């Protein structure tokens, strides 16, 4: 039925199209699709450093998931991942929006300075993590030195070694990386708002606050939504930054699901448990991604 609707020309064009797409598609299915399935299987078997070289890996059902959830670190890491994600998104969104509004005022240096700020987004995460680790340190760390100079604190704070401040420290670092990303996307959103709207509002006597809450925010809604959802997806899976800065410590206070999964697989060599934790992380991301795809469904991306 479907086939008869398509002319021979359509079939020919389709075949050529497939030739263009298939190399990339097959590559992705082989090196991303296959591992996802492998990971799923792995999480129901018992694969660790002793059973690894055996040809037959025993099927253990949900045992890995049960054991992982019995481990108090699992609950802590889920909670930490949520705190880390929401904290980072809140900070980088508010500052990113502020900067986007500022640079949208179109003054002389707005474009070059805005461009310059993107650098922090492009620096390799490993370097950012080490740099902030250095700046946070108790001896010679510039952050403590500055805070003491302005008499805000009397003694150096062990930002990343004190369990009270460690989460805050990694959140601030991650926000520093994320601010330019938020700023750029919101700038694009702002530039799509027609200036005539503001002119009309001015004529009607609306002040700055009215204009912000009645025009800017509602018009920016699609951009805000995609920034928040993409921010959630990117932050929820952060690994390198925390791995290098604290490796989950002190005492699990910054342990994220991603670092916990890595630890299980590559420090304790319980590959199956690591796979189980990664699957839980994936499941949460998958649900959020589906929501996001629903959001952009009407967008031109699906042309």
Partner 1 sequence: MKKMIMKSKEKNIILCCMSIILACIMLFPIYWIVVSSFKTNAEIFASPPTFIPANFTLESYTSQFIGKNSIVVTFGNSCIVAITSMILACMLAIPAAYGLARFKMRGKKTFIMIFLVTQMLPVALILTPMFLTYKNLGLLDTVWAPIISDTTISVPFVVLILRTYFLSLPREIEDSARIDGCNTLTAFTKIMIPISYPGLIMTAAFSFLFAWGDLAYALTFISSPEKRTMTASIYNFMGKYGIQWNCIMAYGVLLVLPVVLIFIFLQKYIIGGLTNGAVKG
Q: Interface residues for partner 1 in 244-273 (CB under 8 A)?
A: 244, 257-258, 261-262, 265-266, 271
- The answer to whether residue 179 forms part of the interface with partner 1 (CB under 8 A) is yes
Which residue's CB is nearer to partner 1, number 62 or number 113? 113
Which residue's CB is nearer to partner 1, number 27 or number 214? 27
At 108, give phi and psi (nearest 5°).
-55, -45
Cβ-based neighbour number of residue 281 at 10 Å: 20
- The interface with partner 1 within residues 146-175 (CB under 8 A) comprises 149
- The answer to whether residue 42 forms part of the interface with partner 1 (CB under 8 A) is yes
Q: Measured from the CB of residue 18, what is the shortest distance to partner 1 in angstroms?
A: 7
Element (H, E) at 74: helix 72-103
Q: Measured from the CB of residue 74, what is the shortest distance to partner 1 in angstroms?
A: 14
Q: What secondary structure, in 3-state letters, does 257-289 show?
A: HHHHHHHHHHCCCCHHHHHHHHHHHHHHHHHHH
- The interface with partner 1 within residues 86-145 (CB under 8 A) comprises 99, 102-103, 105, 107-110, 113, 115-128, 130-132, 134-135, 137, 139-140, 142, 145
Q: Measured from the CB of residue 214, what is the shortest distance to partner 1 in angstroms?
A: 23
Which residue's CB is nearer to partner 1, number 52 or number 214? 52
| 257: Cα within 13 Å, side-chain hemisphere | 24
Can you tell me whether residue 71 is helix, strand or coil?
coil
Residue 298 · residue 77 · CB < 8 Å: no
- The interface with partner 1 within residues 62-91 (CB under 8 A) comprises none
The span of 17-25, 71-79, 86-94, 210-218 binding partner 1 (CB under 8 A) equals 17-25
Fill in the DSSP letter of residue 205. T
- The answer to whether residue 16 forms part of the interface with partner 1 (CB under 8 A) is yes
Which residue's CB is nearer to partner 1, number 167 or number 185? 185
Q: How many residues bind partner 1 (CB under 8 A)?
A: 103
- The interface with partner 1 within residues 184-213 (CB under 8 A) comprises 184-185, 187-189
Beta bridge pairs of residue 59: 45
Q: Measured from the CB of residue 61, what is the shortest distance to partner 1 in angstroms?
A: 19
Which residue's CB is nearer to partner 1, number 170 or number 223? 223
Q: Measured from the CB of residue 142, what is the shortest distance to partner 1 in angstroms?
A: 6
């Amino acid at each position: 039925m479907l086939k008869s609707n398509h002319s021979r020309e359509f079939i020919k064009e389709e075949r050529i199209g497939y030739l263009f797409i298939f190399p990339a598609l097959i590559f992705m299915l082989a090196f991303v699709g296959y591992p996802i399935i492998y990971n799923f299987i792995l999480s129901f078997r018992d694969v660790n450093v002793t059973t690894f070289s055996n040809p037959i890996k025993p099927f253990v059902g949900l045992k890995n998931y049960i054991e992982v959830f019995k481990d108090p670190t699992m609950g802590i890491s889920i909670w930490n991942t949520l705190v880390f994600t929401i904290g980072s998104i809140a900070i980088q969104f508010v500052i990113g929006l502020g900067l986007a509004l500022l640079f949208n005022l179109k003054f002389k240096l707005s474009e070059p300075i805005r461009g310059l700020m993107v650098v922090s987004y492009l620096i390799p995460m490993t370097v950012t993590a080490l740099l902030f680790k250095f700046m946070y340190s108790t001896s010679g760390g510039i952050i403590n030195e500055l805070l003491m100079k302005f008499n805000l604190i009397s003694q150096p704070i062990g930002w990343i070694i004190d369990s009270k401040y460690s989460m805050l420290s990694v959140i601030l670092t991650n926000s520093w990386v994320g601010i330019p990303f938020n700023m750029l996307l919101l700038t694009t959103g702002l530039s799509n708002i027609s200036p005539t709207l503001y002119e009309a509002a001015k004529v009607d006597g609306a002040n700055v606050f009215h204009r912000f809450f009645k025009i800017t925010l509602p018009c920016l809604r699609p951009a805000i939504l995609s920034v928040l959802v993409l921010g959630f997806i990117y932050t929820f899976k952060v690994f390198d930054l925390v791995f290098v800065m604290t490796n989950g410590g002190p005492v699990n206070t910054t342990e994220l699901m991603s670092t916990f999964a890595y630890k299980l697989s590559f420090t304790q060599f319980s590959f199956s448990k690591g796979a189980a934790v990664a699957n839980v992380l994936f499941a949460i991301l998958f649900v959020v991604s589906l929501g996001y795809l629903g959001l952009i469904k009407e967008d031109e991306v699906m042309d």
